[in-house]
Amino acid sequence: MDADDLMHRDRLAAQLALLDREPDLAAAGCHVRLFPRAQLGAGLRDYERWLASIDGARRVAEDAFVESPVAHPTLMIRSDVLRAFAYRDMGWPEDYDLVLRLLEARRQIGIVPRRLLCWREHPRRLTHTADAYRIARFTTCKAHFLARGFLAGTDSYVLWGYGHTGRALRRALEKHGKRPSHVVELHKGRLGQRIHGAPVIPPEALDEMVKAPLLASVAGITARTLIRDFLRARGYQEQRDYVCVA
């Protein structure tokens, strides 16, 4: 955490207690409150609310490709794990890279579901100024780990959503030789068309297809919840059959 952040007096004890109770956890975070509130835009408020919805290791893993599911200033990591993984410079956020490498190695990250850190927002934060923290670099990072993880066994996948998020993801994955076989869309004007060779289909058309790896690339908790409910009702298992990406 930075020197101008504030933490609750219970924060370190609460996170340490979680690590002591659950020895399988490699690291632990907690919830945050961003401040000063007057400087927060809609995006940061949404990010804060989304972080507050992540209450344990399962949710950390399921939402890892939406955004960084752990606020880095709250990260408490076992020293042997940090020595083994370390931070590295890949041209994208080093904290997000560390989290994804831990999850890729089947290391679990827990969350204390309490707001125990006040995270200061200001225009000079690296999040706003460093090239590595541009949205495009996050997308490049996600594509790197998806290509060698969830999509490692195939060169094709089903892409649900072709807004700005889906388009950027498709371009990033194409650099790894991964291309969508179908695009799922609700936009009636796109149904029946082709996007870079992939037919655009409605969600119900998935019922008639052989199940293929699916990336749900939509922004917003509400939209992702609806997609998750739709897929679970059809026997799709998250992380095995589909991954949410934003």
- CA–CA distance, 152 with 191 (Å, rounded to integer): 29
Domains, the chain? 6-133 (3.90.550.10), 149-245 (3.40.50.720)
Average pLDDT over residues 145-158: 98
pLDDT tens, residue by residue, 196-239: 999 999 999 999 999 999 999 998 899 999 999 999 999 999 99
Cα(20)–Cα(192) distance, integer angstroms: 54
Q: Which residue has the tokens 């950390």?
A: 60
Angle made by CA atoms 231, 235, 240, in degrees to the nearest 5: 80
Average pLDDT over residues 108-114: 98
- Residue 8's pLDDT is 98
Q: What is the mean pLDDT of residues 38-65?
A: 95
Share of the chain above pLDDT 90, in %: 92
pLDDT, tens digit, 9 for 90 and up, residues 28-48? 999 999 999 998 999 999 999
pLDDT tens digits along 132-149: 999 999 999 999 999 999
Query: Confidence band (pLDDT; 50, 70, 90) for 188?
Result: confident
What's the rounded Cα separation, in Å, for the pair 146 and 129?
26
For 185, the 3-state DSSP assignment is coil
Q: What is the mean pLDDT of residues 78-85?
A: 98
Q: Which helix (H) or strand (E) holds 127?
A: helix 126-129
Calpha distance 64→61 (Å, rounded): 5
Cα(65)–Cα(144) distance, integer angstroms: 11
